[in-house]
Amino acid sequence: MRKMKILIKHADVFDGKHSELKAHRNIAIDDNIVIAIEKEEVAEENFDQVIDASGLVAIPGLTDAHVHLGHTFMANNSVDYDVAISTAVAKKLLYQGFTTVRDAGGISSGIKKAIDQGIIEGPRIYPSNAHISQTSGHGDSEEAHVARDVQYRIPRAGVLADGENEILRAVREQLFHGASQIKLMAGGGCASYCDPLPTVQFFEKEMRTAVEAAADYGTYVMAHLYTNPSMQRAARAGIRSLEHAHLLDEETAKIIKDQGIFIAPMPQFSAKEEEVMKYMNRKEPSENLKKQGSKADVLRKGMVYATEWINKYDLKLLFGTDLMITFPQYDPRSSYDLTKYKERFGSFKGLLAATGNVNDLIRYTTYQNPYPDGEIGVLERGSYADILLVRGNPVEDLAILSDTDNIKLILKDGVVYKNEICSKN
């Protein structure tokens, strides 16, 4: 698709930062970059396409900061089947308004390259490549042990590493494969059977080794965890992004606030509830923990208190869904989960989590940023032309974005993918 000079006229603009909309602005786009947002009229004859956005709100394209796009989590699939399904889901994400995703563990570099080249449709991808797990951690499996004996250089969704030397090599291997950030499994999980939720994974010195190795390559570490001991250890080690964090307490919230750490408290158990629960309630190795209820039940209750502390201390939120391509319909639930962020954090904070806060996070990727030519998550001069035109004001009601009929135009990298508005060409 040919990129053009586009003028979007008379839009009310949410810039990804402030709750107050900028009324009746004209957005000038040259190729894939926003070059001006003006209140004054702009001459139409200099543009290939003119779109009248009167009565609509322009917002930055959305970001899901925690997906597993390159990993279907289904047993006995062939690699080519996984790739085909992941490609289909990537397109669905784009047409839900998600122009960027951060992959939290999976083989997505090939999909990313094909999207960037315009061969297939999908969002920008910030890849972590393989997530890194300790033995008997959230990422261990019989398949992982088989893969451990294979050369590191072969791309895969997860790798095992124990001790500082193995951590160092695992991190550097992901950087070799083009990771924009590193993903550690730093605590117990749901979709695994060998690591009860209370387990604290990786020693602090192991995590610090990962952080230092990533920092030497200009980027940061994100970590899967749920419990406060895991979160506090990760904070001490210098990890910048905490994923899940469902059992957050006030003491840990204060630490996160003081250190300016990002938190992605995704509502994993909200959509397709019965299928998710069936998948999550796998064998729990501890008989004592079984008596406390399923992992999913424990975390769902914890989210109530975590929400309280996140709001009290105004923590730096990221919107994430933990998209796992698990079900036969292979439908991403990103749009639906926006309603859960509204319920927990309010519309404005929820919208910031999917837009402007991402822009702040991306700064930690420095020269590892695969998209260095424009800003992502904001709508201003110099930002990428990743723009949604929306019916209604998502600052006041984030849930309107859960209905894709309210998204009248989807523009990514200066290319129009959806347009239900009359325009002049």
Indicate whether this model's pTM tops 0.85: yes
| Domains of the chain: residue spans and CATH | 5-60+378-424 (2.30.40.10), 62-368 (3.20.20.140)
The model's pLDDT over 88-113, given as tens digits with 9 standing for 90+, comes to 899 999 999 999 999 999 888 889 99
pLDDT at 423: 63
Phi, psi at residue 158, to the nearest 5°? Answer: -150, 150
pLDDT at 294: 67
The contacts of residue 318 (CB under 8 Å, 6+ apart) are 65, 66, 241, 262, 263, 264, 353, 357, 358, 361
- With CA atoms as reference, report the closest residue to 174 among 196, 157, 149, 190: 157
Cα angle 6, 8, 13; round to 5: 135
pLDDT at 214: 98
Count other Cβ atoms within 10 Å, centred on residue 152: 19
The model's pLDDT over 137-171, given as tens digits with 9 standing for 90+, comes to 676 565 655 555 555 566 667 889 999 999 999 99
Phi, psi at residue 169, to the nearest 5°? Answer: -70, -40
CA–CA separation, 171 and 183 (whole Å): 9
Question: Which residue positions in the chain have pLDDT lower than 70?
Answer: 1-3, 72-77, 136-137, 139-156, 191-194, 268-295, 325-331, 422-425
Consecutive H or E run containing 114: helix 109-116
Phi, psi at residue 323, to the nearest 5°? Answer: -50, 110
CA–CA separation, 277 and 183 (whole Å): 25
